[in-house]
Structure 1
Amino acid sequence: MPIDEKLITKEVLNNTLAREVYPEVKVISEPMMGKVRTVYDIGDQKMIMISSDNLSTHDVVHKRQVYGKGENLDAISGYYFEATKHIVPNHLIEILAPNVWLVQKAEPILVEMVFRKYLTGSGWRDYEKKNGPEEGSKFCGVELRPGYRRNEMLDEVIFTPTGKGQVKDFDIPEFQDMDPETDDPKITIDIIRRNYKTFGLRQPEDLDYIMEKAFALYTFIHEDLREKGHLLADTKWEFGYMPDGSISLIDECVTPDSSRFWKVKDYLFNPEKNEFNVVQDDKQHFRDYVEGLGLHAVERKAELAAHLMDDEILKQGVVKYCDIREEIAGTLPVITTDPRKDAVLAALGDGGFLR
């Protein structure tokens, strides 16, 4: 049953969980803050992850949050971590509260494992720029045949990795003549293998293991989502080394923030445009809003960071996140005006993680 939109009042929209550091948590080192999550090293090779309701688009964290966003994304991740642990282990130990996870500490591998089953986004732009429709092209070292249309399903799932700062911060021979601020370097499997230590791998063969597991993950999840009315156009995963040296899936798994979801029923070929129509079920709703205001340009980042999103846009986002969570995980959040931070601290206190 869809979320009752009447429950999403102005008071609820303002009852969000902001990203912050809780000094009450017992830690052995300084907490690490990302765009959405704050991570606490509590010792004994374990960490606490707290997901806020922060929203980011165009590499900017917005001033207003989206009620329940962190909880909804965690519910989807938690569902797929449980559903795919027969394929690859993951770092989740226990869900302490809807926004609070206890996880195994990992040494991150510095490659974002991006997998695509449809030619869209940056993949399509690169293909079109290189006259791929007529001649074919390469994308991140992967050969693409000629004849694809925008948003078309690829002949097979492809791996198009991206790095996490290596182009700018590390000396990789293939990129030595590039300007990281203006160039768009494409990382390939061969580049990762030749520079495996730079990418946080302990041995080149570990990349083969990760790719094998990630391809299996994509196949399993794409089919699961299709049965629920969605297509997984592309997604990204992160992996890390556990204390015993094994490799596990970490961070999140197939959420609207890390993936493109399309509605199956709307995926139809449009002969007039010579492309496939898609209706997205991810955070494209917010990207479109920002681009409609013209705030997506790099030189307007400060304006975007200061901009206050309208209540109606936020409410639509709440509904979208709740709907896709229900369709995937079969659950809905509790809509409340009770202080969300209090619930987080109560869960941490019950677990004995506070000073």
Structure 2
Amino acid sequence: MPASVQKYRDQLENRCLLVKDLKVFPIEAIVRGYITGSAWSEYKKKKSMCDIPLPDGLLESQSFEKPFYTPSTKAEIGSHDENIHPDKVVEIVGEKFAHDIAETSVKLYSKARKYACDKGIIIADTKFEFGTDSDGNLFLADEVLTPDSSRFWLSSNYKVGEKQDSLDKQYLRDYLLSIGFDKKTSIRIPENIVQKISEKYAEIYEMLTEGDPGFI
């Protein structure tokens, strides 16, 4: 904390955050270690993922030999993100930032994946967001490795060739698909669905942090 804040440490410690003003790139930096979700849907149609050609014979939920960086646009509220080829990121943020975002995203995912694996959790995919400060330095921004931004599977239940039971917002996605949600009209989520999502989020939190309230 800056000196102007440190003198109030006895009042502010554990009660405040130091934030930075960033210009956030309009890119969702998605990293996939397994083929599932929209990637699986595209593969079934075109044998590709974000227009990246993939080999024949892949099965749903199968792991890749190495993680794939598969970005998407970050749409305005009311619109939908669009998966794009990594090369298109260069047109949006420039070559240097495109390279740094891709490299950093894969490193972050790989480190988190190993940590989670030791806890009995598979991180199938996740997304990161990045921004720059006034000096042009790259920063990781927004939420990181949460059930809203990641797809978590139990290692003990994992089976190649089928859809996995997720401890993340996939449960809500499945519910909305089941009622034919048009992605435009505001709706109220039933209390039993809210409760189930809360239970899944609490379960993944406990597994990843082992209940440590100071874990960040």
Which category describes the TM-score, using the shorter chain as reference length? 0.7 to 0.9
Aligned to 2:169: 283
Pair 1:95–1:115, CA change in 2 (3 A): farther
4+ long deviations beyond 4 Å? none
> 79, 83, 96: which one pairs with 2:15?
96
Equivalent pair of 1:266/1:277 in contact (CA under 8 Å): no
Letter in 2 for 1:129: K
> 306, 310, 314: which one pairs with 2:187?
306
Determine if the alignment matches structure 1 residue 158 to structure 2 residue 55: no
Letter in 2 for 1:156: K
> 21, 24, 41: which one pairs with 1:125?
41
Tell which has more relative contact order, 1 or 2 (C-alpha 8 A, sep 6+).
Answer: 1
> 186, 210, 213: which one pairs with 1:330?
210
Where does the alignment leave 5 or more consecutive residues of structure 1 unmatched?
1-93, 133-137, 167-179, 270-274, 334-355
What secondary structure is seen at the aligned counterpart in 1 of 2:206? helix
Pairwise CA distance, 1:247: 0.5
Aligned residues with identical type, % of pairs: 31
Pairwise CA distance, 1:332: 7.0
Determine if the alignment matches structure 1 residue 226 to structure 2 residue 111: no
Equivalent pair of 1:112/1:164 in contact (CA under 8 Å): yes
TM value normalised by structure 2: 0.81
1:141-195 Cα distance to aligned partner (Å, 9 max, x none): 42311110111111221111111249xxxxxxxxxxxxx99xx9642222222x2
Determine if the alignment matches structure 1 residue 115 to structure 2 residue 1: no
Number of corresponding residues: 199
Pair 1:143–1:314, CA change in 2 (3 A): same
**Cα distance in 2 between the residues matched to 1:323 and 1:307:** 24
Equivalent pair of 1:260/1:281 in contact (CA under 8 Å): yes
Pair 1:205–1:265, CA change in 2 (3 A): same
**Cα distance in 2 between the residues matched to 1:243 and 1:95:** 28
Tell which structure's C-alpha radius of gyration is larger: 1
What secondary structure is seen at the aligned counterpart in 1 of 2:15? strand
Determine if the alignment matches structure 1 residue 297 to structure 2 residue 182: yes
Quote the RMSD (CA, aligned, Å): 2.5
What secondary structure is seen at the aligned counterpart in 1 of 2:19? strand
Where does the alignment leave 5 or more consecutive residues of structure 2 unmatched?
1-12
**Cα distance in 2 between the residues matched to 1:115 and 1:144:** 15
Aligned to 2:54: 144
Equivalent pair of 1:325/1:332 in contact (CA under 8 Å): no
TM value normalised by structure 1: 0.51
Letter in 1 for 2:208: I
Pairwise CA distance, 1:283: 1.6
